[in-house]
Structure 1
Amino acid sequence: MMAASDWFRTPPGQALLRWEQAQFDAAVADVFGYHALQLGLPEIDALAANRMPHRWLALPDAAGTAQAAQAAAQDAPAGRILLAASPAALPFAEGSLDLIALPHTLELCGDPHAALREAHRALMHEGRLVITGLVPWRARLWQRLHGGGPLYLPPGHEFIAPQRLRDWLRLLGFELCEQRYGNDSGLPPGAGWLRQLAARLARAGATGWPITRAAWCISAIKRAHGMRLIGAAWKTPAARLAPVPAASRAANPPARRQRGQSAPRSQKGQ
Structure 2
Amino acid sequence: MKASEAKIKIQIMHDWLMTPVGRYMLEWEENLFQTLSADIFGFNALQIGFSEINALKDSRIKNRWVSNQFFPEPPSSNATDGAAKLSLIHDIDRLPFASESIDLIILPHAFEFAENPHMILREVDRVLIPEGQVIISGFNPASLWGLRQSIGKLTGAYFLPSYAEFIGLPRLKDWLKLLNFEINRGHFGCYRPPCRTRHWLKRFAFMEKAGNRWWPFLGGVYLIQAIKRIHGVHLIDAAFRKRPRQIFQTIPVNHKTSGENPDQTS
Q: Structure 2 length normalisation: TM-score? A: 0.70
Unpaired runs of 5+ residues, structure 2, are: 1-8, 198-203, 234-266
Name the Cα RMSD after superposition.
3.3
Percent sequence identity over matched residues? Answer: 36
Matched, 1:218 2:224: yes
Aligned to 2:92: 87
Matched pairs, number:
215
Residue 116 of structure 2, aligned match among 103, 107, 111? 111
Q: Look up the match of 1:29.
A: 38
- What corresponds to 1:132 in structure 2? 137
Change (3 A) 1:129 1:44: same
Are the structure 2 counterparts of residues 140 and 55 from structure 1 closer, same or farther at C-alpha, using a change threshold of 3 Å? same
Q: In the alignment, what sits opposite 1:54? A: 63
TM-superposition CA deviations, 1:88-115 (whole Å, max 9, x none) = 1000000000000000011111111110
Work out the CA distance in 2 between the residues paired with 1:183 and 1:189.
13
Contact persistence 1:104–1:133 (CA under 8 A): yes
Larger Rg: 1
Structure 1 spans left out of the alignment, 5+ residues = 191-197, 228-270
How many Å separate the matches in 1 of 2:78 and 2:96?
A: 20
How far 1:211 sits from its partner (Å)? 2.8
Tell me, yes or no, if the aligned pair for 1:21 and 1:45 is still in contact at 8 Å. Answer: yes
2:179 matches 1:172: yes
Check conservation: 2:189, 2:208, Cα contact below 8 A.
Answer: no
One-letter amino acid matched to 1:19? W
Q: 1:152 aligns with which of 146, 157, 160?
A: 160
Provide the C-alpha distance between the structure 2 equivalents of 1:52 and 1:65, rounded to a whole number of angstroms: 25
1:167 Cα deviation after fit:
0.6
| TM-superposition CA deviations, 1:38-92 (whole Å, max 9, x none) | 00001111111201121111103xxx156x6564996585885521112210000
TM-score, normalised relative to structure 1: 0.69
1:10 aligns with 2:19: yes
Deviation at 1:201, TM superposition (A): 7.9
Distance 2:123 2:25 in 1: 27
SS for the counterpart of 2:172 is helix
Using the TM superposition, give the Cα deviation of residue 210 of structure 1 relative to its aligned residue in structure 2, in angstroms.
Answer: 2.1
The 1:72–1:8 alpha-carbon spacing in structure 2 relative to 1, beyond 3 Å, is same
Alpha-carbon separation, structure 2, partners of 1:10 and 1:119: 30
